[in-house]
Amino acid sequence: MFKIKLVFDFWKRQKTRLILLILFTAIGTAISLSFPLILRYIIDGIRTKLATPVVIKFVLILLGFGIGRSLISVFLPFARGRTNELFMWHTRNNVFTQILRMGHRFTNKFPSGDVIERLDHDLQDLSWFACSGIFRPVEGIFTIIIALIILIRMNPLFTLITVSPVTLAIFAWLKLGPLIEKWYLAWREKISETNNHLEANFSGIKLVKSYVMEERSQKLFRETLNQRIAAAVKTVIVEAKIGIIFNGIAELGILLVLWVGGIFVIKQKLTLGEFVAFNGYILMLITPMFDIGNFFVAGKRATAAESRIRELAEFKPDVPLNSIQDRGQIYLTLDTAISPTIEVNDVTFSYNGKTVLNNINLKIPAKAKIGIAGTVGSGKSTIMRLLLGIAEPNQGSIKLNGIPLKEIDIRTWRQIYGYAPQEPVLFSDTIRNNILFGRNANEQELNQVVKIAQLEQEIKDMPKGLDELIGERGLKLSGGQKARVAIARALLGKPKILLLDDVTSNLDAETEQKFFEAVTDFIKDSTLVIISHRLAILSNCDIIYVLDNGKIVEQGTHNELLAKRNLYWQLYQRQLMAEELARM
Amino acid sequence: MFGEDLFYLEEESKTKGLGLKLLPRILPYFRKYRAKIITATLLLLFSTVLSLFGPLLLKQAIDVDIAKGSIPGLIRTSIIYLALQAVIFLIGYFQRIELSKVGENAAADLKEKLFQHILNLPMSFFDRNPVGRLITRVESDTEALKLLFTSTAVVLVQDFALLIGMSVVMILVNWKLYLLIFALLPPFVYFFYWFQKRIRPIYVEIRRKVADINNFINETIWGLPVIQAFNQEKNFSDKMNIHNQEKYQKEFLGMKLWYRVWFMVDFGEVLGFVLVLGIGGIWALKGLITIGTLILFISYIMRLFMPLRGLSDQLNVIQRALASGERMFGILDTRLEEPGEIKPIFKTFQKEIVFSSVNFAYEPRQETLVKEDLAKCPEPKEWVLKDINLTIRKGEKVALVGETGAGKTSIINLLLRFYEPQFGKILLDDYELHKLDKHFLRRCIGFVPQDIILFPGSILDNLRLFDETISEDTVYNAAKRARIHNRILNLPEGYKTNLIQRGINLSQGERQLLSFARALVANPKILILDEATSSVDPQTEHLLQEGLTELLAGRTAIIIAHRLATVQMVDRIVVLHKGKIVEEGTHSELLSREGYYYRLYKLQYLTPVSSEVT
């Protein structure tokens, strides 16, 4: 009926739960439906002047059934509600786990606000449907079947007369449901229009104020609001009409019971108790009709929500996992990784149709110190992302000791690196956990990297030291502190290859100098790849690659490059000037 | 900065109890619709009372018509029943529509009022409040109030009326039986009181947990490259699992409470049935009451317990609406921008602009994230501008140059009266800027920001900024002078094109030209231009220069200059460094001085400009 994969998969894993829920739904429905029947016996009992104990016996049966119904009517929604939450929990986890594999293309397509919206409201809609919505028609069908059996056994002709108009409700809803949906969507449209208006005016507040357009904006806003009111009222009118139709159908049933049933009773073709029971059953038949009709509309909405959620989970990651299951074959052994030589051969990387890196060739021997310099936006950071296997080249290959990256399990590949990006990425946790970042290290190792990152004193000054919470995205730390925590994280465990992406731009010259001395000493047996705008830092590198517009335009040592008086030299001059300006 | 507002944990209502204090402030927005509200409420009450007659008619049918075997009587009762229901439906139909009209209109009024108020708040307010949060205020908070007044209040009124009405009927029919049912009520009232006290903190915790989860997703997406580089996917997915589990447990606690209520309600209903049928049944056997009475009581009991089931939603709506109301009035209580009183005799700028010993600092930004994070605020009074003395005569074209953070933008922010300096004076034609009527001032000044800000609407609307008193020809003419007319004509619908809707990307240069055209339409005496930084192709560069020449002709101009051509064109260059004016003069004068500007010039215009990505 609806191809809602997530829901289907969920219930496939939860078969027992599903069967139990259906079973209890059936029992609950049966008990509820027994009420008018018991009522019938009591009334007919009173009518025929039965002995008091008999009436009391029926009342006690009623009490027993009532307690049963109460228990089930609590248990059922409780179980569904729990399943509902369980569904959200699992789905959110699963989608989130997929998202964790995603790269740039994903984050560019789905802003985090959008992801959150989908994993919050869309997921709520979907899970309601998956765990409560689908049981409504189940309950409805049980109700209809059981009620019909009871009624037909009581009086087939009367059943036919009174029940047939009620079935109109299904058809009415099938016809009118889409109509509501249509108006509802039109209304939503107007709502987003008002939001666009707000967004434009609040973001462009400087323009609004400087061009004195406050009053005009307000007038326009009012116009949009008026259109929105009109759409809202139209939706309500449709809903109200549908309400009348439904209630009208219900009342038609009751009227028929009252009228035809009354005549039947007078003509003694029906007992008074049966008459009362019929009245009760007709009322009980209306809701199921509505639920069955509504199921289709709700199903449509849930399908839309599900496809929005699945769009996230099924997005193709930039880099495949390369696990054994996927396509990777080789786990790096300690031997292979002990002295890693990386080769980047003819690598081209483009993004959104724009070539970011063009035919890049690099050789990074084990223990080498490599510098990367270049103009802004020339693709320096992208090289690091390619080395890490966070992005995958469109052409060319990256190899470790001769083994192509594509053949190695990406997780083992990444293990050889330590990485600190240009913008420090910190999470709302303690400093300790931000440095450890899920890895094991003893206190001594931890203190060592803290010291190298020049954080020792500052951490001592914090009330809780390493266990200080740093707030969302490291909000409580200064820019320089954030950078150094990120550096400490990269250093921990003495990685085979350390990638530092312009991490020192927030540090003052003195700290920077101290930092580099300490780092070089710490990782003298490892490879270092460093991007920096302060070219003096690169002077100790074995080789420096200079990038411009996605291409390597120069390479050599600091002194060689300066002697060439080319781009590197220009960058150097520029930097000297900038420093001079800053000192003025 | 994206989305920081998303996770700002909305503070819960500070008001304890029902928050009746808010009522006198909210009600005026509904006063306009008083007649309609009263009519709708009366109609509602009327139809509620009418609906009580349904079971009475059933009783009539059973006790009188059927008992007597009177078919005409039965038909009469049926017809009355039919007519009764028809009236109830019609009333319900109109009442529902009218009420929704009132609700939508009152909500729209509130939105409009908030919108108007926000537009007139000082710029510092916008620094503190991200756009997303403001949209939430105008959109969701007003909707929450609407729901409270048009849905929850109605339901409560109706339920109350029903309760009273049914009580009256039951007492009249058989007060002894009624007392039996009534005895059930007090435990319920107590139970609800107990429950609502316990559920509130759980709701708060659930909402907090949801905020945590959203926050975590946000942080994770932002940190994806690092998470992947460090192989932390498993770890993060485990953390997510824990967050989810915690939310599940909180929800579970809430559910457990809820289902206790449900059980009570359901069981109460059963008890009602049993009491009525048991004791009433025995009385009926003895002939003390009729079967019709029994059935009447049973159908009333079902109605009596129905509203109790919906109570959870109502409680939630009330809580949310109260918190919304507080936040909304928080904004309405924020002081508006000073309007300024002086409206000069001359219609516009005559003589000169003077900055005299101006010192300026932005107020520390009160982060509204989490309270404990407030601790880390920037030092108050970090001067952005220090001792600025500057005179710009009518007709003069002045370029402001300096490195990022030198204070260029702050100068134009002050000039547009977006902020006020803490020390010193800014004079326009001898009037102090902050005493001048702000609209007068801003009509004198045209502002061209770095990037064009587009509003939903056509290009035509955007160029004349929705001012329909400006003729289309004026707009075309301005666009021609700004050298963008032909480009606009090439768009799918020409001047009627909606750039946002169509998703049309104009190049940086074209966007700047469009901004020029907008300023030319406004035709201000003083022009403030923040030049776009990005480099453009020579062809566009040429157009930009032509457009700029047109734009500057006959105007006083202050330009944050990024282009070599511009600094060469102006009368005077003011060089800013760390909030101070360090040099002034023409391009060639300053170059020959070989001071700060000389170096800045070499840095910015001579050394390789980065091949910037856009």
Q: What are phi and psi of A332, to 5 degrees?
A: -70, 135
Match 């890049």 to its residue by tokens.
A360
Cα B194 to Cα B190: distance, rounded to the nearest angstrom: 6
A286 pLDDT above the threshold of 80: no
Q: Across chain B, what does the average pLDDT equal?
A: 83
- Residue A522 CB partners (closer than 8 Å, separation 6+): A448, A452, A491, A494
**Do B510 and B484 touch, CB atoms closer than 8 A?**
yes
CA distance to A162, A251, A261, B79, B178, per residue, from B83 (Å): 19, 11, 19, 6, 29
User: Between B62, B100, B376, which is nearest A233 by CB?
Assistant: B100
Interstrand relation of B352-360 and B423-428 (parallel, antiparallel or unpaired): antiparallel
Tell me: the pLDDT tens digits for A206-248?
Answer: 889 988 889 999 999 999 999 999 999 998 888 888 888 888 8
**Do B134 and B328 touch, CB atoms closer than 8 A?**
no
How many CB pairs below 8 A link A and B? 398
Cα A480 to Cα A482: distance, rounded to the nearest angstrom: 5
Cα A350 to Cα A354: distance, rounded to the nearest angstrom: 5
Contact B224 A102 (CB under 8 A): yes
Beta bridge partners of B529: B448, B559
- CA angle, residues B165, B167, B173, in degrees to nearest 5: 105
Tell me: the pLDDT tens digits for B355-411?
Answer: 999 999 887 544 333 333 444 444 445 788 999 999 999 899 999 998 877 889 999
Q: What pLDDT shows up at residue B534? A: 66
Cα B564 to Cα B536: distance, rounded to the nearest angstrom: 13
B485 pLDDT above the threshold of 90: yes
Interstrand relation of B423-428 and B431-432 (parallel, antiparallel or unpaired): antiparallel
**Chain B partners within 8 Å of A353 (Cβ):** none
**Do B536 and B508 touch, CB atoms closer than 8 A?**
yes
Q: What pLDDT shows up at residue B368? A: 37
Higher-scoring residue by pLDDT: A111, A62: A62
Match 């208006």 to its residue by tokens.
A197
Beta bridge partners of B400: B560, B574
Tell me: the pLDDT tens digits for B181-229?
Answer: 888 878 877 887 888 788 878 887 887 888 889 889 988 998 999 999 9
Cα A285 to Cα A158: distance, rounded to the nearest angstrom: 15
**Chain A partners within 8 Å of B227 (Cβ):** 100
Q: Report which of A238, A246, A237 is spatially closest to residue A170, judged by C-alpha positions.
A: A246
Contact B291 A43 (CB under 8 A): yes
**Do A414 and A494 touch, CB atoms closer than 8 A?**
no
User: Between A88, A272, A475, which is nearest B369 by CB?
Assistant: A475
H-type alpha helices, B52-70: 53-60, 67-68
Sign of torsion over alpha carbons B29, B34, B39, B43: positive
**Chain A partners within 8 Å of B119 (Cβ):** 201, 205, 208-209, 214, 217-218
Cβ of residue B218 closer than 8 Å to a chain A Cβ: yes
**Chain B partners within 8 Å of A247 (Cβ):** 85, 89
Contact B259 A475 (CB under 8 A): no
Contact B221 A248 (CB under 8 A): no
Q: What pLDDT shows up at residue B594? A: 87
Cβ of residue B366 closer than 8 Å to a chain A Cβ: no
Q: Report which of A192, A99, A127 is spatially closest to residue B222, judged by C-alpha positions.
A: A99
Of A56-70, A456-470, B325-339, B597-611, the least confident? B597-611
Q: Report which of B421, B424, B425 is spatially closest to residue B353, judged by C-alpha positions.
A: B425
**Chain A partners within 8 Å of B416 (Cβ):** 206, 209-210
Q: Crossing angle for the helix pair B71-119 and B53-60, nearest 10 degrees? A: 170
**Chain B partners within 8 Å of A217 (Cβ):** 115, 119, 466
- B243 to chain A: closest CA residue: A89
Q: What pLDDT shows up at residue A336? A: 62
Q: What pLDDT shows up at residue B369? A: 36
Of A402-411, B374-383, B469-478, B544-553, the least confident? B374-383
Stated length of chain A:
584
Cα A339 to Cα A337: distance, rounded to the nearest angstrom: 5
Mutate to test the interface with A, among B8, B271, B453, B511 (most CBs of A within 10 A): B453
User: Between B119, B273, B446, which is nearest A201 by CB?
Assistant: B119
Most confident of A521-530, B401-410, B538-547: A521-530
**Chain B partners within 8 Å of A236 (Cβ):** 96-97, 100
**Chain A partners within 8 Å of B76 (Cβ):** none
Q: What pLDDT shows up at residue B244? A: 95
A2 pLDDT above the threshold of 70: no
User: Between A62, A100, A229, which is nearest B273 by CB?
Assistant: A62
Q: What pLDDT shows up at residue B372? A: 39
pTM: 0.79
- Burial group, residue B124, by CB count within 10 angstroms (0-12, 13-18, 19+): middle
Q: Which amino acid is at A335?
A: D
- B210 to chain A: closest CA residue: A120
Contact B237 A419 (CB under 8 A): no
* Structure tokens that stand for A197 in this block: 């208006």
Match 């809602």 to its residue by tokens.
A4
**CA of B545 to nearest chain A CA: how many angstroms apart?**
23
**Percentage of the residues of chain B whose pLDDT score is greater than 90:** 26
Q: What are phi and psi of A276, to 5 degrees?
A: -65, -40
Alpha carbon B367 to chain centroid, angstroms: 18
Tell me: the pLDDT tens digits for B275-326?
Answer: 888 888 888 888 888 888 888 888 888 888 777 777 767 777 787 788 788 8
B108 pLDDT above the threshold of 60: yes
Q: Is A539 left (phi over 0), alpha (psi -120 to 50) or beta?
A: alpha
Model confidence at A321, in pLDDT bands (50, 70, 90)? Answer: low
User: Between B223, B267, B281, which is nearest A70 by CB?
Assistant: B267
Q: What pLDDT shows up at residue B2? A: 33
Query: Average pLDDT for residues A552-576, to the nearest whole number?
Result: 91
* Structure tokens that stand for B239 in this block: 């953390």
**CA of A112 to nearest chain B CA: how many angstroms apart?**
6
Check residue B20 and report its DSSP letter.
G
Cβ of residue B240 closer than 8 Å to a chain A Cβ: yes
User: Between B232, B277, B443, which is nearest A42 by CB?
Assistant: B277
- Residue B437 CB partners (closer than 8 Å, separation 6+): B339, B340, B341, B342, B343
Contact A377 B231 (CB under 8 A): no
Task: Count the neighbouring beta carbons within 10 Å of the beta carbon of residue A463.
Answer: 6
Q: What is the dihedral of CA B132, B133, B135, B136, to 10 degrees?
A: 120
Q: What are phi and psi of B390, to 5 degrees?
A: -155, 130
- A566 to chain B: closest CA residue: B608
**Chain A partners within 8 Å of B610 (Cβ):** 375-378
Q: Report which of B563, B567, B561 is spatially closest to residue B591, judged by C-alpha positions.
A: B567
Cα B571 to Cα B394: distance, rounded to the nearest angstrom: 12
Q: What is the dihedral of CA B307, B310, B312, B313, to 10 degrees?
A: -130
A515 pLDDT above the threshold of 90: no
Tell me: the pLDDT tens digits for A341-388?
Answer: 999 999 999 987 788 899 999 999 999 999 999 887 889 999 999 999
Higher-scoring residue by pLDDT: A574, A106: A106
**Chain B partners within 8 Å of A89 (Cβ):** 241, 244-245, 247-248
Helix (H, G, I), strand (E, B) or coil at B401: strand
* Range 301-340 of B in CB contact (< 8 A) with A: none
Query: Average pLDDT for residues B271-278, to the nearest whole number?
Result: 86
Tell me: the pLDDT tens digits for A3-20?
Answer: 688 888 899 888 999 999
Tell me: the pLDDT tens digits for A145-179?
Answer: 999 999 999 889 988 888 888 778 777 777 777 78
Q: Report which of A256, A308, A279 is spatially closest to residue A114, judged by C-alpha positions.
A: A308
Q: Report which secondary-structure segment, H or E, holds A428.
A: none
Higher-scoring residue by pLDDT: A505, A136: A136
Cα B365 to Cα B66: distance, rounded to the nearest angstrom: 79
**Chain A partners within 8 Å of B271 (Cβ):** 66
Q: What pLDDT shows up at residue A146? A: 92
Tell me: the pLDDT tens digits for B132-141?
Answer: 778 888 888 8
Q: What pLDDT shows up at residue B5? A: 37
Contact B613 A265 (CB under 8 A): no
* Range 158-187 of B in CB contact (< 8 A) with A: none
Q: What is the DSSP string of A85-118?
A: HHHHHHHHHHHHHHHTT--HHHHHHS-HHHHHHI
User: Between B244, B367, B596, which is nearest A584 by CB?
Assistant: B596
A329 pLDDT above the threshold of 80: no
Contact B612 A377 (CB under 8 A): yes
Mutate to test the interface with B, among A35, A40, A55, A59 (most CBs of B within 10 A): A59
Cα B137 to Cα A176: distance, rounded to the nearest angstrom: 34
- Residue B182 CB partners (closer than 8 Å, separation 6+): B167
Tell me: the pLDDT tens digits for A8-64?
Answer: 889 988 899 999 999 999 999 999 899 888 888 888 888 887 777 888 888 888 899
A562 pLDDT above the threshold of 90: yes
Most confident of A301-305, B166-170, B241-245, B291-295: B241-245
Helix (H, G, I), strand (E, B) or coil at B576: strand
User: Between A82, A89, A581, which is nearest B255 by CB?
Assistant: A82
**CA of A388 to nearest chain B CA: how many angstroms apart?**
6
Helix (H, G, I), strand (E, B) or coil at B170: helix
Mutate to test the interface with A, among B97, B212, B247, B285 (most CBs of A within 10 A): B285
**Do A130 and A6 touch, CB atoms closer than 8 A?**
yes
* Structure tokens that stand for B451 in this block: 């990037």
Q: What pLDDT shows up at residue B316? A: 72
Task: Count the neighbouring beta carbons within 10 Å of the beta carbon of residue A379.
Answer: 25
Cβ of residue B277 closer than 8 Å to a chain A Cβ: yes
**Do A121 and A308 touch, CB atoms closer than 8 A?**
no
Q: Report which secondary-structure segment, H or E, holds A321.
A: none
Cα B417 to Cα B526: distance, rounded to the nearest angstrom: 14
